[in-house]
């Protein structure tokens, strides 16, 4: 942290604000991406034009040309044949907005990094880390087009679930990197003392399980598994469908990606495990009589996880209406962000103890 302290406080305020803005935009991007998926809009734009694609169709001729390109796609021929121009424009604007938000995030991050570097608001080491984060963001955009291209192949009416999940996973990694950098800057404060190794492992486990659960949710969205087996707690009349239903496809491993029964079951099981782990972590943190900050974070994580699970059940039994589906996706981002910040603060407190650095002063109870 010595390099960080050498940068002026006004400079740090800019970096914090810039990264916080980027973080908010990425969270919004995940929600808009979910809306694009739920409305079936992701394949409405059949070309990837990073610069000229920012300009939408203007005038009847331009709209007719764009609609003509879409009518050549497998999704139109197999699923949306007879769609009106007005219906096409509805899905087009969702995908166009999704891509514009992606462009805005790239512009905000690149411009902020250039300004911070030129004005020396970050150290050389921090600048290199931020540059690597920018490369991660660029890779995310490229994966987005690879995902869309998978849905334009003959016989496809949607993007490949595994590529949608990969796209989501890279978005989460970039989101996590922003949270970790903000924690490095002290945006979230510091714990008064480190937790025991067991409790730290619990916090890290909650983060890892949160990441895995969101990826499983990506497979649910990609395979449209949420539109089947819309009962809870039973699934197909029992705890789980039959083995024949779960492994109906050949080869067997494709069931984990494309079989809606197994995809949804895995998401359910991971949700139960994550909820139990989060509640257990909160109970252990309270029993250990930790300082107020760490205990409150554990309780908040458990509370948000319960709310997130309830949203998931509500979305399922109501056959994933847009409002509940988006609320569930946003809740996942919030939980993942808090779990990431919590893990970063736990790791920082442990690092300070190993280095023999003075611990942060206890925070007053709220």
Which positions of the chain have pLDDT values less than 50? 1-6, 361-366
pLDDT of residue 331: 95
Side-chain half-sphere exposure of 88, counting CA atoms within 13 A: 22
Domain count, the chain: 2
Last residue of one domain, picked from the residues 123, 151, 185: 185
pLDDT of residue 290: 65
Give the whole-angstrom CA distance, residue 106 versus residue 22.
Answer: 9
Of the residues 185, 219, 237, the one at which a domain ends: 185
pLDDT of residue 235: 94
Tell me how far apart the alpha carbons of residues 129 and 69 are, in angstroms, rounded to a whole number.
41
Query: In this structure, are 132 and 220 located in the same domain?
Result: no
pLDDT of 365 reads 39
Choose among 38, 173, 36: nearest CA to 99. Answer: 36
Q: Are residues 145 and 99 in the same domain?
A: yes
Distances in whole angstroms, Cα of residue 143 to Cα of each of 155, 160, 178, 248, 336: 21, 12, 19, 30, 21
Token pair listed for 277: 């782990």
Token pair for 78: 């197999």
- Same domain? For 262 and 208 the reply is yes
The pLDDT score that the predictor gives to residue 359 is 53
The range of the structural domain enclosing residue 350 comes to 188-366
Burial of 198 (0-12, 13-18, 19+ CB in 10 A): exposed
The verdict on 173 and 215 lying in the same domain is no
149 and 224, same structural domain? Answer: no
What is the C-alpha to C-alpha distance for residues 57 and 69, in angstroms, rounded to an integer?
12
Take residue 366 and report the two structure tokens written for it.
């709220």
Q: Quick one: which of 211, 232, 207 has its CA closest to 311?
A: 232
Q: Are residues 194 and 336 in the same domain?
A: yes
Q: Are residues 309 and 195 in the same domain?
A: yes
Let me know whether 260 and 313 are in one domain: yes
Residue written as token pair 């810039």: 18
Contact status, residue 333 vs residue 163, Cβ threshold 8 Å:
no
Residues 176 and 247 in one domain: no
Instruction: Determine contact, residues 317/232, Cβ cutoff 8 Å.
Output: yes
Residues 238 and 267 in one domain: yes
Same domain? For 139 and 64 the reply is: yes
Cβ atoms of 215 and 171 within 8 Å: the answer is no
Question: Of 151, 185, 219, which closes a domain?
Answer: 185
At residue 361, the pLDDT reads: 44
Judge if 275 and 248 occupy the same domain: yes
pLDDT at 363: 45
């Amino acid at each position: 942290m010595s390099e960080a302290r050498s940068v002026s406080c006004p400079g740090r305020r800019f970096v914090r604000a810039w990264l916080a803005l980027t973080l908010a935009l990425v969270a919004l991007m995940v929600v808009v991406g979910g809306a694009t998926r739920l409305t079936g809009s992701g394949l409405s734009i059949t070309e990837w034009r990073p610069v000229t694609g920012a300009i939408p169709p203007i005038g009847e001729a331009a709209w007719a040309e764009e609609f003509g390109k879409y009518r050549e796609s497998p999704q139109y021929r197999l699923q949306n044949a007879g769609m009106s121009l007005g219906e096409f424009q509805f899905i087009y604007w969702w995908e166009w907005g999704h891509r514009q938000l992606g462009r805005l995030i790239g512009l905000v991050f690149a411009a902020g990094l250039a300004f911070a570097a030129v004005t020396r608001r970050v150290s050389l080491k921090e600048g290199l880390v931020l540059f690597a984060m920018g490369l991660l963001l660029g890779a995310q955009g490229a994966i987005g087009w690879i995902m869309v291209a998978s849905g334009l192949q003959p016989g496809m009416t949607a993007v490949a679930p595994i590529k949608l999940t990969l796209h989501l996973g890279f978005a989460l990694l970039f989101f996590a990197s922003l949270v970790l950098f903000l924690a490095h800057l002290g945006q979230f404060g510091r714990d008064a003392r480190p937790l025991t190794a067991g409790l730290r492992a619990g916090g890290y486990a909650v983060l890892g399980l949160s990441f895995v659960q969101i990826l499983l949710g990506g497979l649910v969205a990609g395979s449209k598994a949420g539109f089947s087996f819309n009962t809870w707690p039973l699934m197909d009349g029992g705890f789980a469908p039959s083995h024949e239903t779960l492994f109906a496809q050949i080869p067997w491993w494709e069931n984990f990606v494309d079989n809606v029964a197994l995809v949804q079951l895995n998401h359910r099981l991971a949700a139960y495990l994550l909820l139990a782990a989060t509640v257990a972590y909160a109970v252990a943190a309270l029993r250990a009589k930790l300082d107020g900050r760490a205990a409150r974070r554990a309780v908040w994580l458990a509370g948000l996880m319960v709310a997130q699970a309830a949203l998931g059940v509500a979305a399922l039994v109501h056959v994933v209406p847009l409002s509940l589906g988006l609320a569930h996706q946003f809740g996942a981002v919030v939980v993942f962000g808090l779990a990431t910040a919590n893990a970063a603060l736990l790791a920082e407190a442990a690092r300070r103890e190993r280095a023999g650095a003075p611990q942060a002063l206890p925070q007053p109870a709220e």
